[in-house]
Structure formats: structure tokens, C-alpha cells
């Protein structure tokens, strides 16, 4: 016994849908916009959010959030500002104008000291980086010992920066 | 007598759909979706020619019908979309392609071929993701919260974990086979998949993997000792993840080599432990043991997440859902049109999070926003069709191999957006088609 009328109809409908998929899919492929160069995850979630640069930090945590834990001059500058903010806020709790003035002076002195230290660190780091750049420029990429020498230079730079950062 | 033209070539269209959908950046881009649509149509044509009865029977199944309704509604939304009509047509075509793949897969002998397709795809994706993680190469691996995580061709670790979770039961089926070479290969494949899931460090992925293993042990026939294999694989994968400290890219070569040892040991020892296989004990007891171990692994996965990573516990989902409900309530009946969730909810999302996301992280909510009440009902009907289909066919011969994959995809779509990664949708459709074919196989054999 052959297939019933209903089955034949169903098959024809399925055939039509399959043909629609083939033709429609081909048209959609031909007119499709090109793939995005960013990852699928990035496309779905948008660009990563970078926290705003702290201009007037109120705590060291704000600085860590933006600069990370590496004690770079920028990070230390931010932390010094946060320390000054906290110290000045504490001064407002002092009783008496003289005590407040002394407190503010102490905070300003500590901040100036910290900034001087940061300036020295910045200078020392610049020396390290300049030494690295000039030595790296003299390296020959064709040299068979290039990677070894390059590694040594990087290690020297790291040691120099660690020393500069105290 | 049923007309059925057998031959391995019948698998070609289906494997082509899977290969293109998965390898072409997970089938995310519009051009890849178009190609998948064409191949899905061809797969149905081949299925109609080779097994017309099985094909027509499959297209009456509620899973296929609900997908067809959703596809129609998605396509029709081109008439009222706030986005581009072409975008709505593209989205409609891909939902219809999912239905087509279910129908084409249901016309093939189940479930081992379907399982093989799932396993091969998952292993390929896992290896691709692991290689990229070792090489710290984006986008097949992504740096998230300070560690590199395998993402595979999907370029999204949670979907890689989902695909690996769906294929785990197939690997465990091979691991519990009496033929030793197959068992050795099965254990190693299961270890690789479980380790990949662990390294994605995705909570949903780990939970789905745990669920897949537990369901697999609970539903497997008594003649197969899946429990010991599952427990051994879980332990080996956990040990491997611990050896690299959950960060494959950060581990040195020695540690990476050491992390492979538990997998190799499991592959060599588990099939040899004949006594363990014979002394399997009651299935209920093994299910309880494996469920406890899987639950423990999930808890460790959740607790191991770095503090402050992804914000609060829901990773911002509650805010997205709040924005989605608010947006849908503004236009509850007709919605804003397929593929417009971002455009429709941008303003409300910006009140909840700094950068709005493209997807609602919940398929039902997204459909409500985009397609209105009809879309919401169609998606809920699809969920009902999938889970009632699973319940109806849970005792079908060897259906336990595919059931976890069929269940994992809709569950993941409650919290994430794997629906948009066509590769994972096509793999689900292959598993769903295989599940539909399982009872039919039994009837044919009996007649």
C-alpha cells in the first residue's frame, strides 16, 4: 500500500521547506555582512570596561583598581595623594586651630617627602629604561645568541627596575 | 515495508552541517549562519530521499513543530522590527535550520552515529581550545579574570563547556564498553572533556557537566558499569585541574606534562579494573556516589572563582533580566523584532551596567522582548516539548547516551546565550534528532 494523501502532502511541504532553506540560505550567505574581527564574546558583551583614572583618589584601593599592585611612579603618586587625602580628613577632627594647622603641615610635609621619593624613583627607572634601550639597539637579530642576550638584557632591566622601586 | 536507503554516505550532509557550524567560528557570524541554513536544507532533502517515512514522522514531533512556529514568528517579525528586516529573516532561517537538522538526524540510525558526531565535535573543540590556551592565542582562548581559559571555535568558554558536557556520556559509554581499546579511548576522551570543562572555570558549564555525568549513570543500563568509569574520570580530571592550578597557560611545561598523567593512568587502569566493573553494585548507589562527587566538583568550581571576578554572584544577570522585563513590558504583545534585544533594551541596561550586552542571557526573556507574547509562548512550548520528549523516551534503547546533551542546551539557555552560537545549536539538534530516532529503532527491530 502506498503512502496516504496526507503523508504525500506532508512530504511535499517538507520538500518545499528544504528547497526554501537551500535557496534562502544561499541568498542570505551572499548578502551577509563580513565576520567581526573581535571575538564572539567581545561582540556579545561590548568592549571591556576600563575604570576611570583616579584624579582625586580618596583611598589606596582606588589606585590599585586602576594601576594594579606594581609600585610604578604613577601608582605611588596616586597612593601618595590618597594618603594625603586621608591625613587631611583626619586633621579636620583635631580640636583647636593650632592642632589642625600642625596636622595639615605634617600631612603636607609627608606628601612632599613622598613626591621627592617618587621623583627619584622616576629618574632611576628612566636610567634603567635608557640603558636597556641603548643595549637592545646594539643587538643583532641575526646573531645566533640573540635570544640569550635579549633574555639577559630583560633580566638586567627587571633587576634594575626592582632596585629603583625599592 | 518502510523505504530506507542505508549507507554511511547518508551521514555526510549532517556531518557537513556540524563541521561548518562548529568550525566557522562556532556559527556566530551571519555568513556562517547562511551556509549552515543551506546545508541543513540539503540534509533534509537527502533524508527525504533516503528515509522518507522516518523523515515525515520526525517532522510531526512537538520539538520540530515548536521550532517551526518559533521560526515563522521570528521571520514574520521582519514586518515590525525596529532593526533590519534582513536580520529578522536571518534569525528565522537559522531557527528553521535547527528544526531541519532535528528532522534529518531523526532519519538516521540512532544513537551511536549521533553520539559519534557529538564526541568528535566536542573533542575537536576541546583540543582547539586547549592548544590556544597553551599558546595564549585569542580568540580560541580568552583571558578572563587574570587566567587564560579555553574557548574553542565558539570563542566563548561557557559554550565550549556545554558542548563538552553534552559529549561526556558518549565518551563514558565507550569507557564502559567491554572491548578494551574502545574503553581505553573512551576513558581518555572523557578525561579530556571533563578537564576542559574544569579549565573553562565556568560555573554553569561545570554544573552541566556534573548533571550530564549523573544523568548518564542513572539512566545507563545495568549491563554497563558506567558508575566506576564516571567516578574515575571525575577524580582524574579534578586532579589534572589541580596540578595546573586551574590555569593551563600559567603552568610550566613540567606541570602541564604532569597534568596529563592522571588521564593516562585512568585510561590504562579503569578498563583493567575488572573487579570494579563486575562489582558495580546497585545502580542507585553508584548514581548517589557520582552525584555527590559531581556536586563537590561544582562547589569547588564555584568557590575557586577569584574574588571580585565578574561582579556579584549572578555576574550582572539580574540587572540584564530586570532591564529585559522592563523593556518587554513596554511592548508586551508584538515585541521589537528578532535580533533587536540590544537596541530595544540599551537604555534600561545602561541603568544596570556600564556596557549593555547583546543578549538577555535567558532565551524566554529574550524572545519576549524580541517577539512579544507569541515568542515567549513558543519558547516555553519548545522547553515543554524537549523535556516531555526526554521523559517519554528515557527508557528507549541507548537513549541515555543522548539525553544529557538534549537537556543541557535548553538549560544553558536559561542563563546564557548558546542559542546564538549556531554550532552548539546544531549539535543539540543532532542529539535531539537521535533521541527521536531511538524508539523508532526499537519498533523496527521488533517488527
pLDDT digits (tens, 9 = 90+) for B404-430: 999 999 999 999 999 999 999 999 999
The model's pLDDT over B265-276, given as tens digits with 9 standing for 90+, comes to 999 888 877 545
In this predicted structure, which of A58-67, A90-99, B182-191, B356-365 has the lowest mean pLDDT? A58-67
Contact B76, B401 (CB under 8 A): no
- Among B90, B92, B201, B308, most A C-beta atoms within 10 A, so best to mutate, is B90
Domain-embedded: residue A34? no
Question: Is A112 in the B-facing interface, judged by CB distances under 8 Å?
Answer: no
A40 contacts in chain B (CB < 8 Å): 25-26, 28, 139, 154-156, 421
B307: how many CB neighbours lie within 10 A of its CB?
A: 5
Domain-embedded: residue A19? no
In total, chain A counts a number of residues equal to 166
pLDDT for the residue numbered B3: 47
Closest to B206 in 3D by CA, of B142, B300, B314, B289: B300
Radius of gyration of chain B, Cα coordinates, nearest whole angstrom:
21
Q: Residue A21 and residue B138: Cβ atoms within 8 Å?
A: no
Residues 6+ away with beta carbon under 8 Å from B60: A10
Angle CA B149–B154–B157, to nearest 5: 25
Q: Which domain holds residue A135?
A: 60-164
C-alpha separations of A119 from A125, A156, B44, B276, B305 in Å: 10, 22, 73, 70, 39
* Rounded Cα gap, residues B59 and B47, in angstroms: 12
Contact A46, A69 (CB under 8 A): no
pLDDT for the residue numbered B367: 97
Burial class from Cβ neighbours inside 10 Å (0-12, 13-18, 19+) for residue B438 reads: buried
A50 — pLDDT class (breaks 50, 70, 90):
low
* Rounded Cα gap, residues B396 and A130, in angstroms: 73
Q: Residue A44 and residue B38: Cβ atoms within 8 Å?
A: no
* Rounded Cα gap, residues B42 and B46, in angstroms: 6
Domain-embedded: residue A156? yes
For residue B346, the SS3 value is: helix
Domain-embedded: residue A40? no
A11, A18, A31: residue with CB nearest B86: A31
Question: Is A4 in the B-facing interface, judged by CB distances under 8 Å?
Answer: no
Q: Residue A28 and residue B358: Cβ atoms within 8 Å?
A: no
Number of domains chain A contains: 1
pLDDT for the residue numbered A118: 94
Q: How many helices (H) and strands (E) does chain A have?
A: 6, 0
Half-sphere exposure of residue B92, counting CA atoms within 13 Å on the CB side? 26
A28 contacts in chain B (CB < 8 Å): 30, 33-34, 37, 86, 89-90, 93
Mean pLDDT of A117-130: 93
Domain-embedded: residue A17? no
Sign of CA dihedral A68, A74, A76, A82: negative
B40, B44, B56: residue with CB nearest A7: B56
Give residues 88 to 117 of B whose Cβ lies within 8 Å of A.
Answer: 89-90, 93, 96-97, 100, 103
* Rounded Cα gap, residues A146 and B210, in angstroms: 49
* Rounded Cα gap, residues B293 and B282, in angstroms: 17
Contact B119, B220 (CB under 8 A): no
Tens of pLDDT along chain B (447 residues) come to: 444 556 788 899 999 999 999 999 999 999 999 999 999 999 999 999 999 999 999 999 999 999 999 999 999 999 999 999 999 999 999 999 999 999 999 999 889 999 999 999 999 999 999 999 999 998 999 988 878 999 999 999 999 999 999 999 999 999 988 888 999 999 999 999 999 999 999 999 999 999 999 999 999 988 888 888 999 999 999 999 999 888 888 888 889 999 999 999 999 888 877 545 544 566 788 888 888 988 888 888 777 766 556 667 778 899 999 999 999 999 999 999 999 999 999 999 998 888 899 999 999 999 999 999 999 999 999 999 999 999 999 888 899 999 999 999 999 999 999 999 999 999 999 999 999 998 654 444 443
* Rounded Cα gap, residues B417 and B435, in angstroms: 23
pLDDT for the residue numbered A49: 61
Grid cell of B301 as nine digits = 568550581
For residue B142, the SS3 value is: strand
Domain-embedded: residue A26? no
Question: Is A16 in the B-facing interface, judged by CB distances under 8 Å?
Answer: no
Closest to B171 in 3D by CA, of B355, B437, B413, B404: B404
What is the pTM assigned to this prediction?
A: 0.81
B40, B52, B86: residue with CB nearest A11: B52
The residue of chain A nearest to residue B33, with distances taken between CA atoms, is A29
* Rounded Cα gap, residues B348 and B327, in angstroms: 7
Q: Number of A to B CB contacts under 8 A, please give it.
A: 128
Grid cell of B418 as nine digits = 548558546
Domain-embedded: residue A81? yes
Domain-embedded: residue A76? yes
Distance of CA A68 to the CA centre of its chain: 9
Amino acid at each position: 500500500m502506498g503512502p496516504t494523501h496526507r503523508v504525500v502532502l506532508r512530504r511535499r511541504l517538507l520538500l518545499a521547506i528544504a528547497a526554501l532553506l537551500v535557496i534562502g540560505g544561499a541568498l542570505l550567505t551572499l548578502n551577509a555582512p563580513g565576520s567581526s574581527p573581535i571575538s564572539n564574546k567581545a561582540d556579545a558583551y561590548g568592549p571591556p570596561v576600563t575604570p576611570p583614572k583616579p584624579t582625586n583618589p580618596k583611598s589606596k584601593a582606588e589606585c590599585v583598581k586602576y594601576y594594579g599592585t606594581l609600585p610604578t611612579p604613577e601608582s605611588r603618586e596616586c597612593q601618595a595623594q590618597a594618603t594625603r587625602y586621608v591625613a587631611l580628613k583626619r586633621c579636620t577632627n583635631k580640636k583647636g586651630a593650632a592642632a589642625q594647622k600642625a596636622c595639615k603641615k605634617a600631612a603636607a610635609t609627608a606628601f612632599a617627602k613622598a613626591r621627592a621619593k617618587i621623583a627619584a624613583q622616576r629618574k632611576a627607572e628612566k636610567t634603567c629604561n635608557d640603558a636597556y634601550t641603548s643595549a637592545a639597539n646594539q643587538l643583532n637579530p641575526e646573531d645566533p645568541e640573540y635570544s640569550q642576550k635579549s633574555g639577559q638584557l630583560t633580566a638586567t632591566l627587571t633587576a634594575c627596575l626592582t632596585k629603583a622601586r625599592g | 515495508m518502510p523505504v530506507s536507503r542505508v549507507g554511511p554516505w547518508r551521514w555526510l550532509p549532517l556531518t557537513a552541517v556540524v563541521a561548518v557550524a562548529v568550525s566557522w567560528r562556532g556559527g556566530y557570524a551571519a555568513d556562517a549562519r547562511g551556509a549552515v541554513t543551506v546545508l541543513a536544507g540539503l540534509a533534509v532533502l537527502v533524508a527525504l530521499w533516503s528515509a522518507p517515512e522516518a523523515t515525515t514522522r520526525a517532522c510531526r514531533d512537538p520539538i520540530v513543530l515548536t521550532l517551526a512556529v518559533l521560526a515563522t514568528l521570528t521571520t514574520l517579525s521582519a514586518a515590525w522590527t525596529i532593526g533590519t528586516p534582513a536580520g529578522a529573516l536571518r534569525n528565522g532561517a537559522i531557527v528553521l535550520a535547527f528544526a531541519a537538522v532535528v528532522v534529518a538526524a531523526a532519519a538516521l540510525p540512532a544513537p551511536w552515529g549521533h553520539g559519534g558526531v557529538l564526541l568528535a565535535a566536542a573533542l575537536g573543540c576541546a583540543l582547539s581550545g586547549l592548544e590556544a590556551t597553551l599558546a595564549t592565542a585569542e580568540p580560541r582562548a580568552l583571558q578572563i579574570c587574570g587566567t587564560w581559559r579555553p574557548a574553542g571555535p565558539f570563542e566563548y568558554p561557557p559554550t565550549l563547556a556545554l558542548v563538552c558536557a553534552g559529549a561526556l556520556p558518549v565518551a563514558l559509554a565507550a569507557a564502559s564498553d567491554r572491548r578494551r581499546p574502545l574503553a581505553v579511548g573512551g576513558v581518555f576522551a572523557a578525561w579530556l572533556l571533563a578537564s576542559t570543562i574544569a579549565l573553562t572555570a565556568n560555573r554553569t558549564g561545570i554544573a552541566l557537566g556534573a548533571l550530564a555525568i549523573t544523568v548518564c549513570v542513572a539512566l545507563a543500563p545495568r549491563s554497563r558499569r558506567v558508575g566506576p568509569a564516571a567516578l574515575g574520570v571525575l577524580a582524574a580530571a579534578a586532579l589534572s585541574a589541580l596540578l595546573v592550578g586551574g590555569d593551563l597557560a600559567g603552568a610550566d611545561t613540567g606541570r602541564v606534562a604532569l597534568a596529563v598523567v592522571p588521564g593516562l593512568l585512568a585510561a590504562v587502569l579503569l578498563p583493567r579494573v575488572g573487579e570494579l566493573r563486575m562489582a558495580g553494585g546497585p545502580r542507585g548507589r553508584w548514581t548517589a556516589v557520582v552525584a555527590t562527587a559531581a556536586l563537590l566538583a561544582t562547589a569547588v568550581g564555584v568557590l575557586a572563582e577569584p574574588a571580585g571576578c565578574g561582579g556579584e554572584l549572578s555576574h550582572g544577570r539580574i540587572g540584564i533580566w530586570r532591564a529585559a522585563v522592563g523593556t518587554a513590558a513596554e511592548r508586551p504583545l508584538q515585541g521589537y523584532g528578532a535580533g533587536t534585544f540590544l537596541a530595544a533594551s540599551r537604555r534600561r541596561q545602561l541603568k544596570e551596567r556600564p556596557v549593555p550586552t547583546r543578549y538577555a542571557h535567558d532565551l524566554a526573556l529574550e524572545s519576549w522582548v524580541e517577539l512579544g507574547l507569541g515568542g515567549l509562548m513558543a519558547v516555553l512550548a519548545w522547553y515543554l516539548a524537549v523535556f516531555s520528549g526526554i521523559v517519554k523516551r528515557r527508557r528507549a534503547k541507548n537513549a541515555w547516551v543522548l539525553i544529557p546533551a538534549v537537556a543541557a542546551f535548553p538549560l544553558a539557555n536559561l542563563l546564557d546565550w548558546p542559542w546564538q552560537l549556531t554550532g552548539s545549536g546544531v549539535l543539540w539538534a543532532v542529539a535531539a534528532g537521535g533521541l527521536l530516532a531511538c524508539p523508532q529503532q526499537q519498533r523496527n527491530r521488533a517488527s
